[in-house]
Amino acid sequence: MVPSAWTLGAAAIAALVAVPLLSVVASLARPAVDVWVHLWRTQLLELSLNTLVLLVGVGLGTAVLGTALAWLVVGYEFPGRSVFEGGLMLPLAVPAYVIGFAFLGLFDYAGPVQTALRAWLGDGARVPELRSAGGVILLMTLVFYPYVYLLARVAFVEQGAGTLETARSLGRSRLAAFREVTLPLARPAIVAGASLAMMEALADFGTVATFGYRTFTEAIYRVWYGMFDRAAATQLASLLLLFALGLLALERALRGRARFEQSHRRGPGITREQLRGHRAAAATLGCALVLTLAFALPVGQLLVWAAEAAGPFFVPSRFAGVLRNTVVIATTGAAVCAVFALVLAYARRLHPAPGVRVATQFAAMGYALPGSLIAVGILLPTAWADHHLVDALERLLGRPVGLVLTGSILGLVFAYVVRFLAVAFQTLDAGLGRIPSSLDDAARSLGAGVAGVLARVHVPLLRRGLLTALVLVFVDTMKEMPATLLLRPFGFTTLAVEVWERTSESLWAEAAVPALAIVLAGLVPVSLAIRWSGRAGR
């Protein structure tokens, strides 16, 4: 049987996405013994332990905080609950590296917090050092807990009151019923959210670099651009790949054992217990404290810095150029991702065979891979291709020719597609799944071909899904820092790169304006998530 064009298209996209992954895997097949010996003697143990401590700390921190907040807003009534229900998702709009440098500016020795403490309590007053493992874990927990909060909240709402009331009828207290029944049923959602948080922590570059906390992502950039040691950077990328694949395997194993635990249908919603007195005050203050630390305080500091920088440091023409670069590259990446995702989703709808399903799943796994790993995986084959392409062009033209692929917009868009294709695919695949197949049959009976059905039936019905996919990928692309830093053309600056260049020199105020632009863009998908989750919760 000859494969259809859609199947071949899905296979081609999967093969394209596989290029960075395979190029890094190939480096494991050709280990440079002298490089490994050098890495082991100098930094390998430190990087491995730091990365492992970060992942465990962020996983546990987000699981505890996100689950506690989710149960608080689902199971209890207290002043401000309806506001916090959606507001606790707001930290998703702010990249970790933005909150990171805002926290450093706030809590450093010369910052307003420590200055005020010394004025009130004397010169000996101090706050714990943020540039430490504990500081990085605390910060990332505050930034990434919404992944657990959002999924756990949906899981608690979908359980309904049945299981909780059954446990209560057997003499269990509300807390015991939650611990013994409700929480285990929500475990797959909690594991999924914590895994997403850990993947984000593994991929983070800006925060750990700003805090001076050495992990594999930070080391890859430093070794590649600081020491110009491509072999060492490639070997570090291969180890980062092992961490990423280990996280995926752990998440699949934990969710796989838990997915059969809940078999009932959703019943009436959980009756919220009314909190009064000091319990109500504690619930309100707890939610307010988290939201203040994770969103209001850092964004407020950015606004103060932006006002300070508006006069002496802000150059409108430069900012306009950076903003234009960001919009162009993010729009291009989002459009390519949307087209590729539509091909993958439609191929799986037309041919739900195991081979097509595996190809689509493989093409969508890039979101679990850190941007620095993808960048190294792209730099290696593009450098090899450039070497041969430049030789051929010089022989053909008889004059020197510069690099064609390395350090080009094409390579940068390629990285964004590999990294964020899964975001668009999941959105469009879910949208296609809601369209009944009877519409396809009706359109074909009227003479429409496969492409005609897609263009005339599915695309109009998928307009909201396509717009959502474009917005999500656009914002993720704006935030992406390590891949952009490693692959951007010379002199090409985006908002994320501008933030990095300013914060790497501790120029907090000058970084505030581009950081606020990223935050404003991030508020768009978060506001949509708040709106949709509010509907789901009712």
Q: Which pLDDT band holds residue 256 (cuts at 50, 70, 90)?
A: low
Q: Residue range 452-476: average pLDDT?
A: 83
Q: What are 356-381's pLDDT values in tens digits?
A: 888 887 787 788 888 888 998 898 88
**CA distances, 5 to each of 336, 450, 469 (Å):** 18, 10, 24
Give the span between the Cα atoms of 225 and 504, in whole angstroms.
14
Of 17-21, 201-205, 286-290, 434-438, the range with the lowest mean pLDDT is: 434-438
The three state secondary structure string of 235-288 is HHHHHHHHHHHHHHHHHHHHHHHHCCCCCCCCCCCCCCEECCHHHHHHHHHHHH
The residue ranking higher by pLDDT, 335 or 227, is: 335
Q: Which pLDDT band holds residue 259 (cuts at 50, 70, 90)?
A: very low
Q: Is the pLDDT of residue 265 over 60?
A: no
State residue 260's pLDDT score: 41
Non-local (6+) Cβ contacts of 370 within 8 A are 202, 203, 205, 216, 217, 240, 244, 482
Give the span between the Cα atoms of 503 and 173, in whole angstroms.
50
Residue 6: enclosing H or E segment and its boundaries?
Answer: helix 5-29
Q: What are the structural domain ranges in the chain?
A: 45-313+507-538
| pTM passes above 0.75 | yes
State residue 535's pLDDT score: 57
Of 15-24, 199-208, 360-369, 461-470, the range with the lowest mean pLDDT is: 360-369
> In the CATH scheme, what architecture does the domain 45-313+507-538 have?
Orthogonal Bundle (1.10)
Q: What are 490-510's pLDDT values in tens digits?
A: 889 999 999 999 998 888 888
Q: Which pLDDT band holds residue 312 (cuts at 50, 70, 90)?
A: low
> What letter represents residue 223's amino acid?
V
Locate the DSSP E strands across 414-476: none
Q: Which pLDDT band holds residue 35 (cuts at 50, 70, 90)?
A: low
State residue 140's pLDDT score: 96
The residue ranking higher by pLDDT, 313 or 449, is: 449
SS3 108: coil
Q: Which pLDDT band holds residue 60 (cuts at 50, 70, 90)?
A: very high
Give the span between the Cα atoms of 161 and 158, in whole angstroms.
9
Residues 147, 153, 158, 163, Cα dihedral to 10°: 120
For 537, other C-beta atoms within 10 Å of its C-beta total 16
State residue 389's pLDDT score: 83
> What letter represents residue 11's amino acid?
A
State residue 102's pLDDT score: 93
Task: State the chain's mean pLDDT as an integer.
Answer: 84
